[in-house]
Chains A and B, each alone.
Chain A
Amino acid sequence: MGRRYQSDSAREMSGQLARTRRDFLRTAAGMALGSALVPSSAFAEAGAALGKRKVIVVTFGGGARDQETFAPEGQENIPHLVRELIPQSAFFTQVVNRGILGHYVATASLATGVYETINNFASLPPEHPTVFEYFRKDLKRPSSDAWVVAPSNGFNRIGGSSHRSYGPGLGANVILPKHLLTAALSKGRGGYEHLLRDNYETPSYYAPELGGGEFELQQLDRVLKLSVDDFKAHALTLSSPDELSLYIVRQLMREVAPSLLWVTMHDIDIAHAGAYSLYIEGIQRTDRLCSELWKMIQSEPQYAGKTTLFILPDFGRDADEDSGGNGFQHHRTGDALSRTTWMMALGAGVRGGVLFDRPLQSTDLVPTLGAMLNFSAAMAEGKPIAELV
């Protein structure tokens, strides 16, 4: 239903962005246009035939623009994506987010397949069923089979919706590693408030109170087989919250091996503080962490060969040319650059080295996951991506 809201000029701009990505990828990563190859259904069937298929979704969180990523001048910031992952991926050059461009609400929209309208800054669950609830209810999966790892403390309600037919008891487990670390270090917040900073959009870093549903500290040992001391010791070797998230993801993959795992990165959102070099560092780190995650998938027996990995930003950031914004710093104008992103899928059931130009919506992800994993995303507004299912 959201398609009609985008103006003609914005639609044209989205198309131009997609063409720019396509041209770059065809030269830099040696990819072919999807229409030039054999139908994807053969690959999809091959993937579906694999037993115990697993899916990991990574949001390249915080929003990154073309000029710092896929444009020629930006490729130096994403060497791992360009050289390692994209050549193996089905790459979609034009994924448009027509919803609200706030990180929590946009991620909730990605996870429900509906453009959610909940308050981005409130501790509220999505109003529509999440992918985790569809997955668990339809396939009768236990709670241990669906997990969310998110560094941002505002994401503690992302695991399950307020929908009366789903909701509590059917959602995903949610781990907020930063919050966990703060609890581990201080048994409270005294002295470590800076670790909770994750809402870069307010004038000063702001750490919201949690509204429940998050992974409790004592579960570190019981579920992740990780002592608080080991957790703290390892955290002392890391440089960012997203690195901490990846550490937790590794433990989760080894000890629990969920079939549906959603990882929200957030380091890039330091851009709201207005320091360009820190924004670039965030992109470079996220690029590296995506590569490390892919390697982890290949090296973990429970995941190797049967996992499909999706990587996509929740949205972009404002264009330099839009006088209503301040360029990379925010995502407030709703212009085409801030709405148009990309998505890559790689691994089990995906034909790699192919790029697709046609426009998708970010709400198409959940129905696609449904088609891949055999559950019905009944209330999602998007459509399954034919090239992947």
Chain B
Amino acid sequence: MLPSDLRPEQFAGYPPEARKLVTNYLPTLERLPLGFVPSLLREAIEYDYKFPLERRAIERELAKLQSLSPPQAEDWFQAFGQIRLSSELEHFDWINSPAQFVEQLSTHLWATHQLDAFRNAATSYGERLRTAVPPEAPPVARLGIAVIGQGAGAHDKPLFRKLRAQGAYYSRIKPENGLKQLLGVVAARAKAHPVPYGHWYIDGGEQVEHDPALTCVSYGALAPVRAALLRKIQAETDRPGMGPEALRTLLARMNPAELGINTGDAVLDRFRVKLLTEASGTQIFSTTFAQWGARESLRRAQPCTLLVRFAPRQKQRPMSELLSAIQESAQLDPAGSLVDADFGAYYNWLNQQRLPGAEQSSFLAWFEDHGEALAIGPGTPRGTESSTEADLRQVLSWIS
């Protein structure tokens, strides 16, 4: 099966909006190489559950591809056309299972030493697309906030080591009501710039009271879902013949209803499920959940505002404890979680800076309930330290 053989009825299994989108652009898809089309379909098949910005990006990408003349299309996709595919891949049901095809393609590229060639083709395509269809700028300069170290005491290594060169380190922050102040600033931005899925609050523990205008995802609220997922994983791994790849495929196909999620927001429910089924560690470590959740929200929804609060994860018990007969309830590891979150804050900043408008973006990392913070903004002097006493609201006003 090649893209040139595509027919509208083959997309009957797609969700309604995705089906409509793809069939509208069928003549465009027909002239693209097999090494490329499933990657596009992997996004398109999820169209009904995409965030608004993602939907617009797919629409604009398809419209651009439609506008290419035959010589231009040849030029854009020549490198993809040179990727050698196996007959197994050509016979794979890549229309209905594009994500699984892409996984198989990845294996094939590694095995045939074509990974670099594919990476180059994909990078070149991405650059062309960005030039032809520039990504949307945010309606307001982005603000990222990372609250780290909940429950942690003193630390033996300096915090924010990876971020200090980018901004100003504050050593005398007034911590009182700090989280409330931050959530207040985020809520005010949400009201001033009411963009759907534009202002997020992710909590690695139990979510605190927040403005309903915020898109909220929390590790604590998903506890029943995580438990249901782990039960399903356990049941599947006990089945004969089940392997890691089959397990991964099975998890990727899980939908919110199977895990008992139905908040009435199908897009966000799907996002929550993917956080748990497509990532490693998010099911068991709250710090990983918070970091990965931030990464995915930035990559997909590209919010104007993102507050991520890390919470203590469960302790990784040493083997000697695991071997003992005592079944203790999960203990927390605040000190290790502070290290995780400190590095996670760095990744949050890196991922924010990958988005349009990076030069205007601001970022704040704060050691919860303590006096240390690191602030980065367009006008913030880099690599500096301040002993000025200030509260978090003041610091945010200085960097934005």
Partner-B contacts on A (CB < 8 A): 2, 5-7, 10, 73, 98-102, 115, 117, 119, 121-122, 181, 185, 192, 194-195, 199-204, 206-208, 232, 235-241, 243-244, 270, 272-278, 280-281, 320-321, 323, 326-330, 333-334
Contact = CB atoms under 8 A, between A and B. Distances in A.
B323 to A, nearest CB: 5
Nearest to B287: A275
B287 A206 contact: no
B354 interface: yes
12 contacts: A99-B110, A100-B110, A192-B323, A200-B280, A203-B248, A203-B276, A204-B233, A206-B247, A243-B319, A275-B285, A277-B336, A326-B292
A141 B271 CA distance: 57
A72 B251 CA distance: 40
B244 interface: yes
B115 A238 contact: no
B278 interface: yes
A76 to B, nearest CB: 9
Contacts of A323: 351, 354
B281 to A, nearest CB: 4
B322 A195 contact: yes
B320 A202 contact: no
Contacts of B336: 275, 277-278, 281
B295 A239 contact: no
A39 B4 CA distance: 62
Minimum-distance CB pairs A-B, first 3: A274-B288, A273-B281, A277-B339
A122 to B, nearest CB: 7
Given A5-B113, A194-B322, A239-B320, A202 B248 contact: yes
Contacts of B72: none
Nearest to B161: A73
Given A5-B116, A195-B319, A274-B288, A236 B324 contact: yes
A105 B284 CA distance: 27
Contacts of B354: 323
B111 A274 contact: no
Contacts of B114: 5
Contact of B280 (A7, A201, A241): A201
Nearest to B251: A203
A280 B342 CA distance: 13
B283 A204 contact: yes
Nearest to B126: A323
A275 B323 contact: no
Given A320-B350, A329-B280, A208 B244 contact: yes
A278 B244 contact: no
A12 B323 CA distance: 47
Interface string B212-236: 0000000000000000011001000
Nearest to A123: B243
Contact of A202 (B111, B247, B288, B291): B247
B113 to A, nearest CB: 4
A281 B113 CA distance: 33
B340 interface: yes
A241 B113 contact: no
A2 B113 CA distance: 8
B287 A185 contact: no
Contact of B244 (A100, A181, A199, A334): A199
Nearest to A115: B113
B231 to A, nearest CB: 11
Contact of B116 (A6, A73, A115, A274): A6
A336 to B, nearest CB: 10
Contact of A274 (B230, B251, B292, B319): B292
Contact of B243 (A181, A200, A208, A328): A208
Nearest to B327: A191
A276 B248 contact: no
B337 to A, nearest CB: 7
Nearest to B295: A326
Contacts of B115: 334
B237 A207 contact: yes
A102 B354 CA distance: 28
Contacts of B344: 276
A203 B283 contact: yes
B361 interface: no
- Interface centre among B276, B280, B282, by most chain A C-beta atoms within 10 angstroms, is B280
A192 B319 CA distance: 11
Interface in B346-375: 346-347, 350-351, 354
B332 to A, nearest CB: 13
Contacts of B191: none
B319 A240 contact: yes
B288 A275 contact: yes
A175 B98 CA distance: 40
A167 B225 CA distance: 47
Contacts of A237: 320
A201 B244 contact: yes
Contacts of A206: 237, 244, 247
A202 B116 contact: no
B82 interface: no
Nearest to A178: B319
A354 B382 CA distance: 39
A365 B229 CA distance: 43
A274 B282 contact: yes
A277 B251 contact: no
Interface in B161-182: 161
A122 B243 contact: yes
Nearest to A101: B110
Interface in B240-258: 243-245, 247-248, 251
B361 to A, nearest CB: 16
Interface string B255-279: 0000000000000000000001111
Interface in B315-337: 316, 318-320, 322-324, 333, 335-337
B38 to A, nearest CB: 17
Given A204-B230, A239-B320, A273 B161 contact: no
A101 B116 CA distance: 13
B280 A272 contact: yes
Nearest to A328: B343
Given A236-B323, A276-B344, A277-B333, 13 more contacts: A7-B120, A10-B116, A117-B111, A195-B322, A203-B280, A204-B283, A204-B284, A270-B316, A276-B343, A277-B339, A277-B340, A329-B280, A329-B288
Nearest to A335: B119
B129 to A, nearest CB: 15
Contacts of A326: 292, 295, 347
B284 A273 contact: yes
